[in-house]
Structure formats: structure tokens, C-alpha cells
Chains A and B, each alone.
Chain A
Amino acid sequence: MSDDPTTAARTPDRHAADGPVADGHGLVVDGHQVAAPVARRVGAQALAEVRTVLRNGEQLVITLVLPLLILVALTRTTFVDLGPGDRVELVVPGVLALAVMSTAFTSQAIATGFDRRNGVLRLLATTPLGRGGLVAGKVLGVVALELLQLTVLAGAALALGWRPDVAGVPGALLALLLGTAAFTSLALLVAGLLRAEAVLAVANLLWVLLLAGGGVVLPVSMLPGPLGDVAALLPSGALGEALRAALGGDGLPIVPLVVLAAWTAVLSALVARTFRWS
């Protein structure tokens, strides 16, 4: 058994290895010509991710309907005491942060958790898409969904009288980007470790807990003492504070952005170590 029966073993050169098996039945021997171009593969994956969310009622509720309801409810009613400031100016950045959390974390964690259980991640990893393309497609899908959310929510906010500080938009975009990275990493951490049903529970529970006390919609200054201090250091609070500061004309929110970057670094490193594809 020491003799390897393959010709390729004797000629490990890749091009030589391509020859003997693939010829003779009209197939293109170079793998690159058999696979679709990388942009089309990743684009197809991103589109599939978007379609899955849009088709799924629960996902649509958590990513679009609830943020919209919260936006309208908090700005048009006074059930929740938001202090003396302008309600719209306070609420809109928080709702945008909530939208990011819904898509990048809750929705992505659930989708990935179930795809993992159903073997979808493993099957796609064997196609030309590969694991790298799968992750790229997911990130692109999240960004595409967020653009849709931003369009709808910012449109509604403008109609409700929102007048953001235009100079703060680049800072806000940076915060959205870092928040997306941090929450997507958290989603993959949960989805890659737990059973699908547990992912479902954790992803929804965290969403509710962070909405209530994580400094997303309600500023950390309005939370009771120690909770506010903790919330400011959570990705949720950091994203909410960063958007409120940037869009409210308070300049570049350095501290929250650093917090988000740190969470991204830690969480993505954990994902790389712990993610299980099956």
C-alpha cells in the first residue's frame, strides 16, 4: 500500500493532476472556468440571504415592523418620558441602532443557526462558493438589508420631522459599520456554538433585553445608575450613543466607536476559534 495508485501522486504538479481524469468528456479542466465568477457567487448568496428575511414573517417583524412601530410610538405619543429634549432627535438614532441589532444580530444568528443544523453551511462550503464566499455573501446580505431598513426608517423619520446634523453623517456611517461588524460577529458566535433552538431563544431574548436595558433606543443616561454605566460598554449602548452623538451634532463619538471596535475584535477572534460548521 506504499505505492500510491494515482498518477497525480507521482506528478503532484496541479496541471498534470488536472489532465487524466477530466479530459475525454468535454469538460473544462481548469476549475476557474467551471465555477461562476466570484462576484456572481457572492452576489447570489447575498440575494438569497435578503430573500430569506423578506419572505419570513417573523424576521420581517423584528427587522422592519417593530423598529418602525417603536419609531412612531415614541415620537407621536408621550407614554415614555424622554425628558425635555426633542423626542424625534433622541429617538431616531436609537431606532437606527435597533435596526442594525435586529438584522446583524438576531436575524443573522437565527438564519445561520438553522442553516448550520440543516447542513446548508456544509453543502455550500463544498460548492465553488466556499466558506469564504459564504461569509462574504452573508455580510453583503446584512449590509443590503440595512440599506433597505435605513431607507424606510430614515424616510419615515424625515416625514416625522427629523432634521439630523448633516456634518455627523460620516461619523454615523462609521458607527453603523462598526456596529454591524460587532453584532454580526456576536450572531456568528451564538449560531456557531449552540443548537438551532437555543440560538432562536438566545437571539430573541438578547434583542428584548438589550432593547429594554442595553442603551439602544433609550440613552444610557436615562437608565438607572449602574445599568447605564454597563450599557455604555455594551455593543448596543455604544452603537446607540455613537449614533445619537454623531447625528445630534456632538461631533465624532470617539469612546463608543472604540468600544464597538474592541467588541468586534474580541468577538470575531472568538468566532474564528469556536465556530462549528456542522
Chain B
Amino acid sequence: MPHLDFPLVPPAPSPRVAVAVDGLVKRYGRTEVVHGVDLAAPAGAITALLGPNGAGKTTTVECCEGLRRPDAGRVRVLGLDPVRDARHLRPRVGVMLQDGGLPSTVPAGEALRHVAAMYARPRDLGELGERLGLGSFTRTQVRRLSGGQRQRLALAAAVVGRPDVVFLDEPSAGMDPQARLAVWDLVRELREAGTSIVLTTHQIAEAEALADHVVVVDDGRVIAAGTTAELVGAHDVLRVVVRPTTDDDAPSLTAALADAGRPAEVRSAPSAVPGTLEVVAAADPALVHAVTGWAAGRGALVTSLSAGERTLEDVFLDLTGRRLR
């Protein structure tokens, strides 16, 4: 594991945890796809399970929804067992599946009305339809909807029963930017109303824009968890790319900065651009001068230099050493 700067599962900010998973193991046949996942989704917050396709996000969420039985470990949603206490839990949990889950030959509006009929006090369908822009296709059969339309309908079905906890599996997959913003707005509004939201995504931008709490999952394991700020850290960084690069760039720059009276940690960032160095320090003219002076002394050209905060993508690359698949 590359970094242990932050705890795998941070202490819950308060005892109010909506979804708690401890040591979850799930096998399909002989293949183990989830190897002991721990996570705690705070109540009234948005928690994102971030990871590449095939990381075990959907399986984990399906165990929380009561659709799959864990092979080992413990899952609690609102303090209840999703399988054993399903009858008590189902009315309080809303689910959006990755593959939609709505009948293909039924008009969209009717499919939503049908799900709404399962609840005592469903949301107003007209208002919900307007929020998510369902009005233009309520009479269209589900199978004739576009991917984005289908996703919005499935999201409406997940929240129509006024759930306390909502599980959204890849909620904005296949959506155009406008629809994605509408979905994000609705998810944020649910949080304002006190709903706990657990969503899966393989898009770092979505986790960064939406989530209060991010759980990074890769290859069936949690590799990091925390608030976005905790994961990213408060560090400012100066990113430098020099040509040509050599193996001792980082130690050499570290020494040069120390000599210049500006000691700072320097590391090779596993970025898309080979040879990217990260100087962990707030940028100022003197620091930039010291860096470019070091490059000039080595006969190297600075091809890129940027200052700013680290992003979740930097963290993910640090953790996995590779891009999301």
C-alpha cells in the first residue's frame, strides 16, 4: 500500500452512521470479488464509492441493498441487517440499479407510478418529473428511452418513496452534462433534507463534485477513505515537468531547494506525464526561481510548471499508480 497518511476507515464524525460495512467478503462461485471491505457512510451525507470498473463497488452496494448475502462480514443499514430485517428496511431504502430495473414494455410514467404505489406517502410525481425532466417522455416505453432518460427515470424511482437511505449505482452514467447537473442537484437536495446517500462512480470528477465522504475501492478492497479534504490533504503543490528526465531528479531538486533555503518535500508523481515532479509547498516567486535555477543548472528544460492544490485524481494515482480503467 503506497500511503498510510490517512486511516483506512476514519473515525465516524458522529455516531450517526447510516451504512456500516465490516469485513465484507463476497464470492461468485470460487472467485472472491470483495476481500474484506470496511466502510462507514455517515448519516445525512453523500458517500461515494470510487473505483475502476470491476473493483467490487456494485457487489458491495448490492450486499447493502439486501440483494446479495455476504459470504463473510457484517452489513448494517440504519442499524438493521439488509437480509434478515428486509421487511423493516425496504420501505426506508431507495435503490437505483446499474441496469435500470424498470420493465421495458411499460411507458415511463406508468413504471414510476408503479414503484410509487408501493409506498404510503410517495413524492409528488409531477414535481419529481419536472425536477428530472421526465415530462417529455412519460408516455414513451422504457425500452425506447435514451440511456440518460432511463437513468433519470431510475433515479426518480429510487427516491419516489422518500427513503432515509438511497443507494445509487453509477447514477450519471450515460448522461449529457445538463442531465448530470440536474441529477447532482437532486442528490444534494436529498442530502439537505437529511437523506443519507451512497453512490458508486468510476468518475473522479463526480466523487469530487458531489461527495462529502469518499471511499476508494480497487480490486475488492478499500484502499483509502475519508472526506475529500482528508484524502487530498491541505497541501499546495508545485508541479514541474523537465526534459530530459533522470532517475535522481527528485533527490537532486530536494537538495537544491534545501541549499536555496527553501526546503520542501519533492516526489515523482505517477502522473500521465512521465517525469512529473511534485514540490509540496506553497508556490511563490522565490520557490519558482529556485526550481527553474535547479533545472538550468542541470541543462534541463522546464516544459511545464503549475501551482495549485492536489486533486482527488492525484490521490488516486498515488494510491494505485495508474489511471482509472
Contact = CB atoms under 8 A, between A and B. Distances in A.
Contact of B104 (A18, A55, A118, A125): A118
Interface in A156-180: none
Interface in A1-43: 1, 4-9, 11-12, 14, 16-18, 20-22, 24-25, 27-28, 31-37, 40-41
B18 to A, nearest CB: 6
B120 A33 contact: yes
Interface stretch (A61-69, A126-134, A236-244, A256-264): A126-134
Contact of B101 (A5, A9, A118): A118
Interface in B52-107: 65-67, 74, 76, 78-80, 85-93, 95, 97, 99-106
A78 interface: no
Contacts of B12: 5
Contact of B79 (A6, A24, A40): A6
A27 B99 contact: no
Contacts of B79: 6-9, 11-12, 14, 16-18, 20-21
B200 to A, nearest CB: 15
A114 interface: yes
A57 to B, nearest CB: 10
Given A5-B11, A22-B164, A31-B88, A52 B20 contact: no
Contacts of B162: 27, 34
A22 B92 contact: yes
Interface residues of A, number: 52
B118 A8 contact: no
B98 to A, nearest CB: 8
B118 A44 contact: yes
B273 interface: no
A34 B100 contact: no
Nearest to B103: A120
A58 to B, nearest CB: 10
A21 B164 contact: yes
Given A5-B15, A44-B114, A277-B67, A123 B88 contact: no
B22 interface: yes
A5 B104 CA distance: 41
Contact of B92 (A34, A118, A119): A34
Contacts of B23: 1
A21 B99 contact: no
Contacts of B65: 126
Given A1-B23, A127-B90, A35 B78 contact: no
B91 A34 contact: yes
A221 interface: no
7 contacts: A14-B79, A20-B79, A21-B78, A28-B120, A40-B117, A114-B105, A128-B91
